[in-house]
Structure 1
Amino acid sequence: MASYPLTVFFDGACPICDREIALMRRLDRRGRLKFSDFSRPDFAPTSINISPAELGRIIHARWGDGTVITGVDVFRAMWEAVGLGFLARLSRLSLVEPLVVKAYAWFARNRLRLTGRPTACAGDTCSSAPSGRHSS
């Protein structure tokens, strides 16, 4: 396993995403997780060298050693970090893993529509109506 902290890049303007991150913050009693909201105006894409548009396409995280992980692996790493390793192990079971991967891929493709936000991106930025909520 790579080294902590695990920095998770998330969309704080996505209500579903924001709730998941809020839960992880509450459960992170060992201080293993850090969070970076790429929807904030002060977000610096150079901190990960991945465009906000790509960060919005699929969840990304970076281990303390610089290793970047994406998608379901980010959730597994967060679950393990906060003591919910059984969820990570469950998600890796041969009958469960394909379902988890497909469910996340569907959510990632549809999350903007599901949360009532526009899906158009121009260059390295995606437009969205401000939610009035941002986590840092």
Structure 2
Amino acid sequence: MALRGAAAACIGRHKNASLSLISIPNRLPRKPPQGFSPSLRHQAGRSVRAIQGATAEPVAPKKEDEGQSLQDWKIKMLYDGDCPLCMREVDMLRERNKQYGTIKFVDISSAGYSPEENQGLDYKTVMGRIHAILSDGTIVTDVEAFRRLYEQVGLGWVYAITKYEPIATMADAVYGVWAKYRLQITGRPPLEEILEARKSKGEMCNHGDKCKM
């Protein structure tokens, strides 16, 4: 009995000691590691909270080149922006082109018109008759130009018959008369006077960044 009691007492002391060792870390003061200041602890905690509270920003899609849309055109229309009758047709085609985006419109009457950017076609040449430029650089004129333009906006049937002879020749002849007298028909001065006025305006504008007229 004495041995059993002693053994029980010994086991009890050993058990209490084990429990004491296990509970020691909970009773020890929590000291920060050497060199870790309270301000650093505050900053670390704030960083963690910031990371936890941050929302994932959606990745912005790569913006396409702003000039990319200009590369999508299949035909370029050179038109006289000072011609009221011409502008009716241009406005109709431009409205249709909103759906297709295949025509690039270039106003030859604007001060910024550049022959170098349009297959070398100068103002006088383009004023003589309708010109259009395909995306591969091919120049088309007269009724063929209208046919190509209308085809690009789903109206190819309008000029479809002009593909065939003798209709093609007849259509070009009729258009040639219109092109020759269109300035008179629309109440504008002769081409020579327009060219002279354009030249004078250009000379005045060349004296500075702003035109004096």
TM-score category of the 2 structures, normalised to the smaller one: 0.7 to 0.9
Which segments of 5 or more consecutive residues in structure 2 lack a partner in the other structure?
Answer: 1-71, 199-213
The answer to whether the 8 Å contact 1:6/1:33 transfers is yes
In the aligned structure 1, how far is the partner of 2:181 from the partner of 2:131? 17
Q: 1:74-123, CA deviations, whole angstroms, 9 ceiling, x for partnerless residues?
A: 1000111111111221222435333311111011101101111111327x
The answer to whether the 8 Å contact 2:73/2:104 transfers is no
Cα gap change, 1:10 to 1:61, in 2 (>3 Å): same
Aligned-partner SS, 1:83: coil
The answer to whether structure 1 residue 41 and structure 2 residue 122 are counterparts is: no
Instruction: Point out which structure has higher relative CO (alpha carbons under 8 A, 6+ apart).
Output: 1
Within the candidate set 64, 68, 86, 2:139 is matched to 68
Deviation at 1:26, TM superposition (A): 1.1
Which segments of 5 or more consecutive residues in structure 1 lack a partner in the other structure?
Answer: 129-136
What residue identity is the alignment partner of 1:81?
Q
Aligned-partner SS, 1:42: coil
- State the Cα RMSD in Å: 2.1
What residue identity is the alignment partner of 1:21?
V
The answer to whether the 8 Å contact 1:12/1:38 transfers is yes
* Structure 1 partner of 2:89: 20
In the aligned structure 2, how far is the partner of 1:72 from the partner of 1:44? 24
Return the index of the structure with the highest Cα Rg: 2
- Report which of the two has the higher share of strand: 1
Cα gap change, 1:21 to 1:92, in 2 (>3 Å): same
* Structure 1 partner of 2:44: none
Moved more, 106-115 or 94-103: 94-103
The answer to whether the 8 Å contact 1:52/1:126 transfers is no
* Structure 2 partner of 1:100: 171
The answer to whether the 8 Å contact 1:7/1:63 transfers is yes
Trace 1:1-136 onto structure 2 (pairs within 5 A): 4-28=73-97, 29-48=99-118, 49-121=120-192, 125=195, 127=197
In the aligned structure 2, how far is the partner of 1:39 from the partner of 1:66? 21
In the aligned structure 2, how far is the partner of 1:126 from the partner of 1:102? 29
Report runs of 4+ in structure 1 exceeding 6 Å deviation.
none
Same amino acid, percent of matched pairs? 30
The answer to whether the 8 Å contact 1:60/1:70 transfers is yes
Aligned-partner SS, 2:172: helix
Cα gap change, 1:85 to 1:120, in 2 (>3 Å): closer
